[in-house]
């Protein structure tokens, strides 16, 4: 028995005279893994115990039953272990590319240069890092870095909550400190954009999105009961006239749309977007200081809820005496079920469920 173990793998050597304990290494794909085999007195492999390094345990996770089954048929465990490990290495690419020791020393030295106070999170494999960064206005941002096994020779994958693609320059000589510095420059280039949206969020009632992220460029601002304006701010040119869409009953929206078209030439890039919107539309936006948000959170007249998944009621009856809001999906399904309704392409024509006046709705967008 002892001869077969040694012949199959010369890196496994007996530690006692009884030849029941073998210690050493097993080589797979030019990689060595430390292991120790404890055999029973009768040298039967089916009763053997295998002790190994954590890397080998990680590779063989899920293959334990296979190893046990095959040791009953083979004369030595060294016959089957390399086979199992070959399969494991192919099915676990992250194990196949396990970083060398210098990867970890390089990472530690780079983190010491950057500052450990910048590290918010690191996973157990030392591959995924989350680094914090504060811009000049004190906003905290998070940069997620996915390191490759050949770091720093290979560029990492980086992501952050930004309204623009994160473009990072990387060379084999680059470091995490340089990466963090590039991220800070990107944040500063977006400072005006976030200042514009912060003012809107602070001074008005935002209907959508419910919880804006730093990547969101759209705000739906309440103007009045069932009337709002959707603005899309350009991150590259945040102080220019944003793309605007007025939402609400036509008899309310039409005068506002006329003012917008007549006054947009007076837009002043040196003033804030919110100040310009007030001047162009000739209105004062309701604010948290003057109004309750419940004044604008009117429930749908069909499902009797305000939010339907992410949607809020944005279809309004045009009759000034009614003005009841509906979710687009609710109104579409309601009208489509009525025999008196008719459909032309994607638009359904029918009667308001409340006042029976004419109302139309576009087909609800299909979810991808």
On whether residue 194 sits in a domain, the answer given is no
Last residue of a domain, one of 91, 114, 134: 91
User: Based on the structure, what is the number of domains in the chain?
Assistant: 4
Does residue 247 share a domain with residue 328? no
Domain CATH number, residue 37? 3.10.110
Q: Is residue 367 part of a domain?
A: no
What pLDDT does residue 314 have?
Answer: 80
To the nearest whole number, what is the mean pLDDT of the chain?
83
The SS3 call for residue 104 is helix
pLDDT at 1 over 70: no
Tell whether 64 and 143 lie within a shared domain: no
Q: Is residue 141 part of a domain?
A: yes
Considering the domain architecture, whether residues 4 and 75 belong to the same structural domain is answered as: yes
Closest CA to 55 of 103, 13, 97: 97
Q: Are residues 239 and 169 in the same domain?
A: no
Regarding whether 244 and 161 lie in a shared domain, the answer is no
The reported pLDDT for the residue numbered 179 is 97
Cα separation of 333 and 69, whole Å? 59
pLDDT higher at 181 or 60: 181
Place of tokens 């591959």: 127
Task: Supply the DSSP symbol for 311.
Answer: B
Contact 331, 349 (CB under 8 A): no
If one counts every other C-beta atom within 10 angstroms of the C-beta of residue 70, the result is 17
Query: Band of the pLDDT at 303, cuts 50, 70, 90?
Result: confident
- Counting other chains too, the contacts that 79-87 makes at CB distance below 8 Å and 24 or more residues apart are 79/8, 81/26, 81/28, 81/35, 82/26, 82/27, 82/28, 84/60, 85/26, 85/28, 85/29, 85/33, 85/56, 85/59, 85/60, 86/28, 86/29, 87/63
Q: What pLDDT does 288 receive? A: 86
In a domain, 316, yes or no: yes
- pLDDT over 70 (residue 88): no
* CATH number of the domain where residue 349 is located: 3.30.40.10
Judge whether 343 lies within some domain. Answer: yes
Give CA–CA dist 188/98, Å, rounded: 36
Q: Looking at the domain assignment, is residue 71 inside a domain?
A: yes
Per-residue pLDDT tens over the stretch 304-316: 777 787 787 888 8
Tens-digit pLDDT profile for residues 262-298: 999 999 999 999 999 999 999 999 988 877 766 666 7
For residue 57, pLDDT over 80 is answered with no
Decide if 197 is inside a domain.
Answer: no
Domain of residue 222, CATH code: 3.10.110.20
Final residue in a domain of this structure, among 294, 324, 350:
294
Residue-wise pLDDT tens digits, 148-184: 988 999 999 999 999 999 999 999 999 999 999 999 9
Q: What is the mean pLDDT of residues 83-107?
A: 65
149 lies in some domain: yes
Q: Which one, of 189, 231, 226, lies nearest residue 212 by Cα? A: 231
Which pLDDT tens digit goes with each residue over 211-268?
899 999 999 998 987 788 999 999 999 999 999 988 887 888 889 999 999 999 999 9
Examine the fold and report which residue of 189, 216, 246 is the final residue of a domain before the chain moves on: 189
For position 10, what pLDDT does the model report?
45
The mean pLDDT value for 335-359 works out to: 87
Boundaries of domain holding 38: 1-91
């Amino acid at each position: 028995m002892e001869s077969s173990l040694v012949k199959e793998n010369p890196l496994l050597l007996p530690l006692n005279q009884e030849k029941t304990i073998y210690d050493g290494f097993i080589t797979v794909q030019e990689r060595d893994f430390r292991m120790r085999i404890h055999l029973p007195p009768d040298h039967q492999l089916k009763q053997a115990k295998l002790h190994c390094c954590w890397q080998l345990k990680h590779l063989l996770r899920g293959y334990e039953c296979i190893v046990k089954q095959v040791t009953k048929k083979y004369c030595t465990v060294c016959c089957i272990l390399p086979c199992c490990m070959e399969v494991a290495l192919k099915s676990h690419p992250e194990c196949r590319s396990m970083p060398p020791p210098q990867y970890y020393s390089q990472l530690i030295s780079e983190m010491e240069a950057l500052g450990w106070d910048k590290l918010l999170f690191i996973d157990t494999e030392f591959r995924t890092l989350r680094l914090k960064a504060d811009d000049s206005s004190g906003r905290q941002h998070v940069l997620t870095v996915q390191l490759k096994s050949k770091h720093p020779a290979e560029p990492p994958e980086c992501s952050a909550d930004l309204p623009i693609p994160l473009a990072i320059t990387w060379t084999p000589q680059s470091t995490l400190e340089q990466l963090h510095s590039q991220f800070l420059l990107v944040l500063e280039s977006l400072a005006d954009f976030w200042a514009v949206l912060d003012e809107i969020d602070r001074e008005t009632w935002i209907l959508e999105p419910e919880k804006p992220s730093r990547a969101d460029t759209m705000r739906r601002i309440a103007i009045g009961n069932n009337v709002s304006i959707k603005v899309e701010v350009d991150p590259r040119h945040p102080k220019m006239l944003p793309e605007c869409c007025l939402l609400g009953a036509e008899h309310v929206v039409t005068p506002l749309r006329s003012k917008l078209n007549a006054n947009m030439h007076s837009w002043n890039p040196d003033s804030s977007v919110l100040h310009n919107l007030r001047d162009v539309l000739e209105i004062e936006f309701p604010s948290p200081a003057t109004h309750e948000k419940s004044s604008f959170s009117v429930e749908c007249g069909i499902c009797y809820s305000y939010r339907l998944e992410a949607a809020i009621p944005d279809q309004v009856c045009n009759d000034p005496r009614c003005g009841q809001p509906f979710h687009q999906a609710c109104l579409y399904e309601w009208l489509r079920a009525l025999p008196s309704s008719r459909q032309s392409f994607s638009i359904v024509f029918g009667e308001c469920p409340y006042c029976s006046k004419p109302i139309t709705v576009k087909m609800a967008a299909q979810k991808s």
